[in-house]
Amino acid sequence: MLSVPPPPYRPSPPGSIHVEQETYEAFFRACRQMMTHRQALAYPVVEDFILRHVDVGTPNAALLSHIMAESLFKRLDSNLLEGKNIYVQSFDIPQIKMFYKMAKAYPHIFVSHDIANQHLAHGMKELRDITILELGIGKGVQLWKLLTLLMLDWNCRVEHVRVIGVDPDPANLEDTGASLAKLRKILPFNVTYKPVCGMIEDFSEAELAAMVSGGENLFVNAAYTLHHTYSPPDDKTTRLRLFERFARLRPRVFTLIEPNSDHDTESLSRRFHHCWNHFGTVFDLIDESELSSGEKFNIKEKFFGREIRDIFGSSDRFRCERHELYDTWLLRFARSGFKPVCDFKPELIVPDNCEIEYSDGLARLGFRGQCVIAVFAQTMY
């Protein structure tokens, strides 16, 4: 059965990705044909968008079309990959390192970290002992900035910070530990670090409770990680149950940062629609950076290309990149008993190409009228 079709295509604003509406509609029809097992009709259409060669001079529209068409061919050839978290796969350049390179061209990333950190620091500064549960801690870049923010606040009363870092890559946990060891030398408060290797959805409720036991005043931060959580196709309850587990831990503040796009759908046409609009916008944003043409190309083709290939070329049962729209995350927070942080508004200093809309506990970061990232601050109190 076909799912409800996505909203009709609307051409991008002047200056953003320039693609004829016919190109969009051809891809959309091919996705519909594949969903209804008419692969023979889709094959020549998708083939037309595969370029024999791509390089730094390939226009955004052609590059995005190439990556998606290449990925869709895996479906047409019945050779789907089994998905695997791309942050723990072996690449010539690890995905986590590409993430930080990408953030230099995508200012919204560090703006989102700053907004989340301001919410966390505001909730922490009057407390003496705090526990931070970092989900997908990466190399600890956001955590470093948070601890520095606390250090520079003359009104901060924090004496001890207990960091619990969860990440599926042991190298990330080790690097974060080394980074914290250097930072401890200048911090006016004590920091202890507990690395936990694994995916947060793999831990039982009892294991999760044991993980944070012994600490006081829990804060939870999840930046660009929860869209990786596994759930069976069309299962909309797995992530809700995970949020309900977090709610039972009663965190003082739970900050979440996620891209705003719907790739957690089994409808290929809807997935294509959101992928096209989201990554097309992001590619245009990257072009505004001062990085070299080669660096911009690597970010698009390697970092985002890996995500797009996972979205279209991996088995639906095991796909890793399952982004959702921000209102889906908001509903999940509400259904699990959270409420927005209302007693604090962060200082919103953003670059000219970063649009922002703020309401209680929610910042929507955009570019040329399209929201690309959402930052949430929720509480149980």
Q: What amino acid occupies position 178?
A: A
Categorize the per-residue pLDDT at 11 as very low, low, confident or very high, splitting at 50, 70 and 90: very low
Mean pLDDT, residues 129-158 taken together = 96
Residue 325, pLDDT > 80, answer yes
Residue 12, pLDDT > 50, answer no
CATH 3.40.50.150 fits 105-260+322-379, yes or no: yes
The Cα 120–Cα 294 span in angstroms is 37
Indicate the DSSP class of residue 203. S
Tens digits of per-residue pLDDT, 306-317?
Answer: 889 888 887 777
State the alpha helices, DSSP H only, in the chain. 21-35, 39-47, 60-76, 95-105, 108-124, 141-151, 170-183, 205-212, 238-248, 268-287, 293-298, 305-313, 326-335
Q: Of 295 and 374, which is predicted with more confidence?
A: 374
Residue 246, pLDDT > 50, answer yes
pLDDT computed for residue 179 by the predictor? 95
What percent of the chain has pLDDT above 70? 88
Task: Give phi and psi for 81, each to the nearest 5.
Answer: -85, 155
Question: Where are the chain's structural domains?
Answer: 21-102+266-313, 105-260+322-379
Taking the complete model, does pTM exceed 0.85, yes or no?
A: yes
Tens digits of per-residue pLDDT, 50-71?
Answer: 876 788 888 888 888 888 888 8
Mean pLDDT, residues 147-165 taken together = 96
Q: Strand 355-359 vs strand 362-367: parallel, antiparallel, or unpaired?
A: antiparallel
